[in-house]
């Protein structure tokens, strides 16, 4: 039987205190996510249960029990305290999906410091912007990523410690660097977790904005309440499950549901830190007998593309429940999954800002392929008229997805940017920046974003950030970045550029520019297509009209062009 039993019953009289009681928390108590995800599970008698099974490149494998996670996160916490890291300071995890990332986050939280995970494929520019905004004081990384940190070190006066988790003792350490090997360090049986309270800052996740720098999303320890209950009711995690969340903890899915959700429930989870291929993924499910799988539409579409035959090579009968997040999950993908896995993917909708799932499909509830489902119990989700910001009650009408800001995992503010935070509210509603319709049964149907942000393979890319980086290339005079359709990633980045005098358009230059962005920002932000143009469409006030270029790429109506200057 599923944990939620009946969605309709759970909606009636819902209170978050249900989760508080299950976690043994009362308002005013200390609440430390690091402690809840390790020490508490051991106290419940599950110390010998496997917490984490990890598989890396070249067939390397490691596994950790809950007691080992407890002791090793203590080791990390004590090490950080020894370095002088104080509660509230930001500690970055700039790591691949290795055990140090998962256990390290719990260690950071145990000290009362703030965890700041950053995607390890980020280039030096992406890294610099986020580390300087957060004034991060310590950073965990691997030797292969350290050169990117060294490159920007001069611009990071606050960064005191660069902790290399796989340092080669034969080599010299650089400025501010130190070596720390989690698995070789002496056990720390006891570490008193810092007495963080509900509103104590826990995590800082960066998300892209349409204008300006990426925004740091401030989360607090009380988010555990939402993350625990949604993991239980939506992912349906049960004691004997073997769970696989394919997301990287550099993004919020990988922390909320790749660390906090499963560990707070004492579930066994598997992590694969290898490149994607259908064979890799299916053999992983077969080998570990994965029962619950949380993934993303781009991955599902890539598996679809690999075909039905490859599925038949593996025994995937362990799979019990499948969920998806991050971008629109098209009906075809849901139908395909039913055909080949015998189960649909259950779509879930949420954001870095919401910290936990908001609109979902629930076990036992009828899945309408292509719909995101209904708001989680306790969540008031509506669509608003874009002019009046009043809820729309008309079936099929498009509105702005908005929530009453009263759930535990809701962001508390944007770091150093209260103004951007305030700007997310109208009439007391939190605006997601997405558009949707609602059908007569209350199901939400995603329509699109309400801004220029590009969602490529489930990752948000700011056109503004890519445009700014493009301008740093010597050949680029002006640039405009929009999305273009893609069968697998749904959207990919496309750049229109004008060249500076003396530069010739060529294929080589296009590749050079693409590579420049990949290295500076990340592989996700790299334009898949660079188009040379003589001039960019601009408004009379000189603002580039991305809207026109976007419409052209998507074969859409151009709309009002009355403000266009160079028509
Ligand atoms: C944006 C949030 C939190 C998960 C990882 C993404 C889009 C998310 C869905 C879905 C259609 C979706 C929205 C949202 N999105 N889930 N099920 N269907 N779109 O977190 O990076 O903050 O992105 O992703 O546009 O606003 P994020």
Query: Concatenated DSSP letters for 330-372?
Result: -HHHHHHHHHHHSSPEEEEE--TTT-S--EE--TTSPP-TT--
**Ligand 1: distance of its center to the CA of 547 in Å?**
21
pLDDT at residue 559 is higher than 80:
no
Structure token pair of residue 288: 């570990």
- What separation in angstroms does the CA of 302 have from each of 17, 53, 94, 309? 40, 25, 27, 14
360 in contact with ligand 1, CB cutoff 6 A = no
When pLDDT is cut at 50, 70 and 90, the band that residue 539 belongs to is confident
Q: Quote the pLDDT of residue 563.
A: 61
Do both 388 and 254 map to the same domain? yes
Examine residue 444 and state whether it is found in any structural domain, yes or no: no
CATH number at residue 511: 3.30.300.30
Q: Quote the pLDDT of residue 558.
A: 75
Please check whether residue 309 is in contact with residue 280, taking contact to mean a CB–CB distance below 8 angstroms. no
Q: Quote the pLDDT of residue 59.
A: 86
Mean pLDDT of the chain: 96
Please check whether residue 434 is in contact with residue 248, taking contact to mean a CB–CB distance below 8 angstroms. no
User: What is the mean predicted confidence (pLDDT) over 474-479?
Assistant: 95
Please check whether residue 495 is in contact with residue 468, taking contact to mean a CB–CB distance below 8 angstroms. no
Task: Quote the CA–CA distance of 394 and 75 in Å, as a whole number.
Answer: 56
DSSP SS3 for 309: helix
**Ligand 1: distance of its center to the CA of 120 in Å?**
20
Do both 424 and 496 map to the same domain? no
Please check whether residue 517 is in contact with residue 466, taking contact to mean a CB–CB distance below 8 angstroms. yes
Q: How many Cα neighbours within 13 Å face the side chain of 504? A: 3
Do both 98 and 200 map to the same domain? yes
Strand order of the β-sheet with 90-94 is 177-179, 161-164, 138-141, 90-94, 114-117, 201-207, 215-220, 413-414
Task: Quote the CA–CA distance of 335 and 274 in Å, as a whole number.
Answer: 27
Angle between helices 463-471 and 507-520 (to 10 degrees): 120
Task: Match 């939280």 to its residue by tokens.
Answer: 109
Q: Which residues pair with 219 in a beta bridge?
A: 203
431 contact partners, CB below 8 Å, separation of at least 6: 384, 400, 401, 402, 424, 425, 450
Examine residue 566 and state whether it is found in any structural domain, yes or no: no
Examine residue 218 and state whether it is found in any structural domain, yes or no: yes
Strand order of the β-sheet with 268-273 is 61-65, 50-56, 268-273, 242-245, 292-295, 321-325, 345-349, 359-360, 374-375
Length of the chain: 567
Q: How many Cα neighbours within 13 Å face the side chain of 99? A: 24
Examine residue 396 and state whether it is found in any structural domain, yes or no: yes
Task: Quote the CA–CA distance of 333 and 156 in Å, as a whole number.
Answer: 44
Q: Quote the pLDDT of residue 380.
A: 98
Q: Which residues pair with 348 in a beta bridge?
A: 325, 360
Ligand 1: nearest atom to the Cα of 217? 22
Do both 478 and 434 map to the same domain? no
Task: Match 């494998």 to its residue by tokens.
Answer: 61
Do both 343 and 492 map to the same domain? no
Do both 494 and 516 map to the same domain? yes
Do both 276 and 399 map to the same domain? yes
DSSP SS3 for 411: coil
Examine residue 483 and state whether it is found in any structural domain, yes or no: yes
Task: Quote the CA–CA distance of 346 and 324 in Å, as a whole number.
Answer: 6
Task: Quote the CA–CA distance of 461 and 452 in Å, as a whole number.
Answer: 9
**Ligand 1: distance of its center to the CA of 232 in Å?**
20
User: What is the mean predicted confidence (pLDDT) over 222-251?
Assistant: 98
pLDDT at residue 482 is higher than 50:
yes
Do both 356 and 403 map to the same domain? yes
325 in contact with ligand 1, CB cutoff 6 A = yes
Do both 302 and 398 map to the same domain? yes
Which residue, among 316, 268, 352, 326, has the nearest Cα to 489 in the 3D structure? 326
Examine residue 222 and state whether it is found in any structural domain, yes or no: yes
Structure token pair of residue 132: 């300087």
Q: Which protein residue's CA is at the shortest distance from atom 23 of ligand 1?
A: 351
Examine residue 353 and state whether it is found in any structural domain, yes or no: yes
Do both 403 and 463 map to the same domain? no
252 in contact with ligand 1, CB cutoff 6 A = yes
pLDDT at residue 211 is higher than 80:
no
327 in contact with ligand 1, CB cutoff 6 A = yes
Cα Dmax for the chain: 71
38-55 pLDDT tens trace: 999 999 999 999 999 999
Task: Quote the CA–CA distance of 381 and 80 in Å, as a whole number.
Answer: 41
Domain boundary, last residue among 387, 411, 438:
438
Ligand 1: nearest atom to the Cα of 401? 26
468 contact partners, CB below 8 Å, separation of at least 6: none
Q: Which residues pair with 476 in a beta bridge?
A: 499
pTM: 0.95
**Ligand 1: distance of its center to the CA of 486 in Å?**
17
For 441, phi and psi rounded to 5 degrees?
-90, 5
207 in contact with ligand 1, CB cutoff 6 A = yes
Structure token pair of residue 215: 């925004």
In the chain, the number of structural domains is 2
* Other beta carbons less than 10 A from residue 439's beta carbon: 12
User: What is the mean predicted confidence (pLDDT) over 109-122?
Assistant: 98
One DSSP character per residue, 456-497 reads ETTEEE-HHHHHHHHHTSTTEEEEEEEEEEETTTEEEEEEEE
Do both 137 and 203 map to the same domain? yes
Task: Quote the CA–CA distance of 258 and 115 in Å, as a whole number.
Answer: 14
Task: Match 């080599």 to its residue by tokens.
Answer: 171
Domain boundary, last residue among 414, 438, 462:
438
pLDDT at residue 72 is higher than 70:
yes
- Pocket of ligand 1, candidates 235, 261, 323, 350: which has the most ligand atoms within 8 Å of its Cβ, to mutate? 350
Please check whether residue 105 is in contact with residue 249, taking contact to mean a CB–CB distance below 8 angstroms. yes
370 contact partners, CB below 8 Å, separation of at least 6: 329, 330, 331, 334, 445
Structure token pair of residue 80: 């950080």
User: What is the mean predicted confidence (pLDDT) over 88-105?
Assistant: 98
Examine residue 445 and state whether it is found in any structural domain, yes or no: no
Task: Quote the CA–CA distance of 116 and 247 in Å, as a whole number.
Answer: 16
pLDDT at residue 501 is higher than 70:
yes
Strand order of the β-sheet with 476-486 is 476-486, 490-499, 529-532
Domain that includes residue 401, residue range:
7-438
pLDDT at residue 271 is higher than 60:
yes
pLDDT at residue 565 is higher than 90:
no
Task: Quote the CA–CA distance of 40 and 75 in Å, as a whole number.
Answer: 17
Do both 367 and 502 map to the same domain? no
Dihedral angle at the C-alpha atoms of 240, 246, 250, 253, nearest 10 degrees? -70
Domain boundary, last residue among 416, 438, 460:
438
Instruction: Using only the alpha carbons of the chain, give its radius of gyration.
Output: 23
In the chain, the percentage of residues whose pLDDT exceeds 70 is: 99
Task: Match 């928390």 to its residue by tokens.
Answer: 25
CATH number at residue 345: 3.40.50.12780
pLDDT at residue 567 is higher than 50:
no
Q: Quote the pLDDT of residue 306.
A: 96
């Amino acid at each position: 039987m599923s944990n939620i039993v009946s969605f309709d019953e759970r909606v009636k009289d819902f209170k978050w205190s249900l989760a508080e009681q299950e976690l043994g928390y009362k308002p005013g108590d200390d609440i430390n996510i690091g402690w809840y995800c390790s020490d508490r599970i051991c106290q419940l008698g599950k110390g010998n249960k496997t917490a984490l099974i990890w598989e890396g490149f070249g067939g390397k494998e490691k596994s950790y029990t809950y007691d080992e996670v407890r002791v090793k996160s203590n080791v990390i916490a004590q090490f950080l305290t020894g370095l002088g890291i104080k509660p509230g300071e930001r500690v970055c995890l700039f790591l691949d999906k290795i055990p140090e990332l998962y256990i390290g986050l719990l260690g950071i939280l145990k000290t009362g410091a703030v965890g700041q995970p950053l995607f390890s494929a980020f280039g030096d520019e992406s890294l610099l912007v986020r580390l300087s905004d957060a004034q991060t004081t310590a950073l965990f990384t691997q030797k292969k990523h350290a050169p990117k940190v060294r490159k920007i070190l001069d611009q990071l006066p606050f960064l005191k410690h660069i902790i290399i988790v796989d340092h080669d003792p034969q080599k010299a350490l650089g400025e501010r660097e130190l070596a720390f090997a989690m698995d070789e360090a002496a056990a720390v049986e006891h570490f008193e977790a810092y007495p963080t309270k509900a509103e104590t800052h826990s995590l800082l996740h960066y998300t892209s904005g349409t204008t300006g720098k990426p925004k740091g999303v401030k989360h607090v320890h009380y988010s555990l309440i939402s993350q625990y209950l949604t993991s239980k009711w939506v992912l349906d995690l049960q004691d004997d499950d073997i769970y696989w969340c394919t997301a990287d903890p550099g993004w919020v899915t990988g922390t909320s549901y790749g660390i906090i959700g499963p560990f707070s429930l004492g579930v066994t989870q598997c992590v694969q830190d290898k490149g994607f291929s259908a064979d890799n993924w299916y053999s992983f499910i077969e080998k570990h007998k994965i029962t619950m799988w949380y993934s993303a539409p781009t991955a599902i579409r890539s598996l679809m593309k690999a075909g039905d035959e490859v599925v038949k090579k593996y025994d995937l009968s362990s799979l019990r429940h499948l969920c998806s997040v991050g971008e629109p999950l098209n009906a075809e993908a849901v139908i395909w999954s039913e055909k080949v896995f015998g189960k649909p993917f259950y779509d879930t909708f949420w954001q870095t800002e919401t910290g936990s799932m908001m609109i979902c499909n629930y076990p036992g509830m009828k899945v309408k392929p292509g719909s995101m489902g209904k708001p989680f119990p306790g969540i008031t989700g509506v669509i608003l008229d874009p002019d009046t910001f009043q809820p729309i009650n008309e079936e099929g009408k498009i509105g702005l997805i908005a929530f009453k800001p009263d759930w535990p995992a809701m962001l508390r503010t944007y770091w150093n940017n209260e103004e951007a935070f305030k700007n997310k509210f109208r009439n007391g509603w939190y605006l997601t920046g997405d558009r949707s319709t609602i059908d007569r049964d209350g199901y939400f149907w995603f329509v699109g974003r309400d801004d220029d942000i590009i969602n490529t393979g489930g990752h948000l890319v700011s056109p503004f950030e890519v445009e700014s980086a493009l301008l740093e290339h010597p050949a680029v005079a002006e640039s405009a970045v929009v999305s273009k359709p893609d069968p697998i990633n749904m959207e990919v980045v496309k750049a229109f550029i004008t060249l500076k005098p003396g530069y010739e358009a060529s294929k080589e230059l296009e590749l050079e520019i693409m590579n420049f962005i990949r290295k500076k920002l990340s592989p996700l932000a790299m334009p898949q297509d660079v188009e040379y143009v003589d001039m960019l469409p601009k408004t009379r006030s000189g603002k580039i009209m991305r809207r026109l270029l976007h419409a052209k790429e998507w074969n859409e109506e151009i709309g009002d062009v009355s403000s266009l200057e160079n028509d």
